[in-house]
Amino acid sequence: MIFQLIIKNIFRARLRSLLTVIGLVVAVVAFGLLRTVVDAWYAGSEASAPNRLITRNAISLTFTMPTYYKDRIRAVDGVTQISTSNWFGGIYQEPKNFFPQFAVTLPTHFQLYPEYIMPPEQMDAMMKDRTGCLIGRALADQYNLKIGDTIPLQGTIYPGNWEFTVRGIYDGRDEGTVTRQFFFHWDYLNERVKISQPRFADRAGVFVVSIKDPQSAADMSQKIDAEFKNSTAETLTETEKAFQLGFVAQSEAIVAAIRVVSFVVILIILAVVANTMAMTARERTSEYATLKALGFGPTFVASLIVGESLTLTLLGGLLGIGLTFPVISGFKGTIGAIFPVFRVSQETLVYQFFAVLTVGLLAAIVPAIRSARIKIVDGLRHVA
C-alpha cells in the first residue's frame, strides 16, 4: 500500500514533480559531463603501457638531447627498442586547429605502440615516402582526410612551410587509444633542419624506450640516467605513465576546480529536491496527522516521505544517466579537438547513481523527522 500512496502523492503535484525530475536530469547529466572532462585529462596516462619509458632532457621538455644518446641507451641491458620523438608544433591552416605532431623513428615507433593498428602495406608505403605521414582515425575523421591527401603545416619550432602526404591511417586497439595524432619521419625533419638551422640538427626531443621487464622500470630509469650523469645534457627517465601524469599535474589547479564544481551541481540539486520535499511535507501536515490518528506509526509517515523522495530522485537520476551518453557524444563532436579521448567511464555512472541516491536520502531527512514527530492535534489544526 505504501508504494501506491507514494506514486499517488507524486502525481498529485504533477508540475512540481515534473520540474524536480527535469532539474535532476540536468544535474546528473552535468555531473557526468564534468567527470568525463576530468577523465579526459588523464586519457594520456590511462593509455600508457608499463614497459615504455620516456627519456628527456633533465632541464625541461623544451631542451633537446644529442641523437647519439640513442645508441648509448639502446646498449643498456634490458632495453628492447627505442624511438626518437620530436614535438613538431606546426599550424594546420590556423592555430585553433591544434593536434599533436611528432617526428618519430619509423617503423620502430609503431612497434613500440602495438595499440596503433594499421595495415602493413600502409607502413610499407610510408617507408617509401620521405615526406609521408601517418595519422590517427579521429584526426582523419575530423578533417575528412584520406590516404593520398596533402597536409600543409606551418612550422613554429621548425620554421618554414612543410607538406606531408597521408600514407596511412591507424586505428586504436580500444577506445582508450589516442588516435588524434600525426606522425612523420624523424630523418626527414633532421634533413631539413640541417639545411635551414644547422645548429639545431641532430637533436632529439625525447626517446621512447621499451624495456624487457616492466617490473624493472625504476631500475632501468636510473641506469639510463646514470649513463649521462654530469654530461652537457643530463637526462630524466620515467615511465610513460609518470611522464603523462606530469602533464596533468601542470594544470592540476584546473582539474581540481572542475572536480569541486562537479560536486557543486549535486549540492544545487540537493537544495532543489530538499525544497520540494519540505514543501510537500508542509502541505500535507494535516494528512500525516490524520494517518497517525488512524493508527499508522511515525515510521510509516517517515517512510512515506523518504520513499517519495527516493522515487523522484531515482526517476530523474536514471533518466539523466541514460541521457549522459547522447550528450557526451554530442559534446565530442564540438570540443573533441581539445580532448583526444572523451567517453563515459563506468566509474562515472556509479558516481552518478550514488550521488542521486544520496540526494534522495538527504533531501528527505528533515521533512521526514519533522512529520514523524508531529503531534496529531497540531497537525490536524495546521494550515499550509
Partner 1 sequence: MKIPFSYIARNLWTRRLTTLLTAGGMALVVFVFSAVLMLDAGLKKTLVGTGSFDNVILLRQGVQTEIQSSVSREQAALVETNPAVARNSKGEAQVSKEIVVLIGAPKKGDTKPQNVVVRGLTELGAGLRPQVKLIEGRWFAPGASEIVVGKSVNSGFENMELGQTARFAGRDWRVVGVFDGGSSGFDSEAWGDVEQIGQAFRRFGYSSVIARLVDRNHFDRLKSDIEADIRLKLDVKVEPLFYEEQSKALSTFLSILGLALSFIFSIGAIIGAAITMYAAVANRTGEIGTLRALGFRRSSILVAFLGESILLALVGGVVGLAVASVLQLFTVSTLNFTSFSQLSFGFHLTPMIVLQTLVFAAVMGIVGGFLPSVRAARMEIVDSLRAG
Which stretches of the chain bind partner 1, using CB under 8 A?
15-16, 19-20, 22-23, 26-27, 29-30, 33-34, 58-63, 89, 95, 154-157, 159, 199, 230, 232, 234, 236, 245-246, 249-254, 257-258, 261, 264-265, 267-269, 271-272, 274-276, 278-279, 283, 338, 366, 384
Whole-number Å distance between alpha carbons of 265 and 268 = 5
Whole-number Å distance between alpha carbons of 131 and 150 = 10
Instruction: Supply the minimum distance, in Å, between the C-beta of residue 143 and partner 1.
Output: 20
Q: Are 36 and 328 in contact (CB under 8 A)?
A: yes
Instruction: Supply the minimum distance, in Å, between the C-beta of residue 266 and partner 1.
Output: 10
CA-nearest of 207, 237, 204 to 83 is: 207
Instruction: Supply the minimum distance, in Å, between the C-beta of residue 335 and partner 1.
Output: 9
Cβ closer to partner 1: 26 or 49?
26
Q: What angle do CA 56, 60, 62 make, to 5 degrees?
A: 90
Rounded (10°) CA dihedral 98, 240, 33, 323: 100
Q: Residue 285 has which C-alpha cell?
A: 501536515
Q: Are 52 and 239 in contact (CB under 8 A)?
A: yes
The owner of cell 591507424 is 170
Cβ closer to partner 1: 99 or 296?
99
Whole-number Å distance between alpha carbons of 295 and 300 = 10
DSSP for 281-343?
Answer: HHHTHHHHHHHHHTT--HHHHHHHHHHHHHHHHHHHHHHHHHHHHHHHHHHHHHHTTT-S---
Whole-number Å distance between alpha carbons of 271 and 295 = 33
Whole-number Å distance between alpha carbons of 50 and 344 = 24
* Residue 54 C-beta-side C-alpha neighbours within 13 Å: 21
Instruction: Supply the minimum distance, in Å, between the C-beta of residue 348 and partner 1.
Output: 16
Instruction: Supply the minimum distance, in Å, between the C-beta of residue 115 and partner 1.
Output: 25
215 DSSP 8-state letter: G
3-state secondary structure of 56: strand
The owner of cell 565530442 is 332
CA-nearest of 353, 361, 360 to 31 is: 353
Instruction: Supply the minimum distance, in Å, between the C-beta of residue 242 and partner 1.
Output: 8
Instruction: Supply the minimum distance, in Å, between the C-beta of residue 173 and partner 1.
Output: 29
Which amino acid, one-letter code, is at 94? E
Cβ closer to partner 1: 20 or 371?
20
Instruction: Supply the minimum distance, in Å, between the C-beta of residue 339 and partner 1.
Output: 12
Cβ closer to partner 1: 40 or 118?
40
Cβ closer to partner 1: 7 or 59?
59
Instruction: Supply the minimum distance, in Å, between the C-beta of residue 66 and partner 1.
Output: 11
Cβ closer to partner 1: 271 or 377?
271
Cβ closer to partner 1: 10 or 34?
34
Q: What are the distances in angstroms from CA 343 to CA 33, 277, 291?
A: 9, 34, 49
Cβ closer to partner 1: 81 or 154?
154
Instruction: Supply the minimum distance, in Å, between the C-beta of residue 81 and partner 1.
Output: 26
Cβ closer to partner 1: 79 or 356?
356
Cβ closer to partner 1: 57 or 179?
57
Q: Residue 186 has which C-alpha cell?
A: 624523424
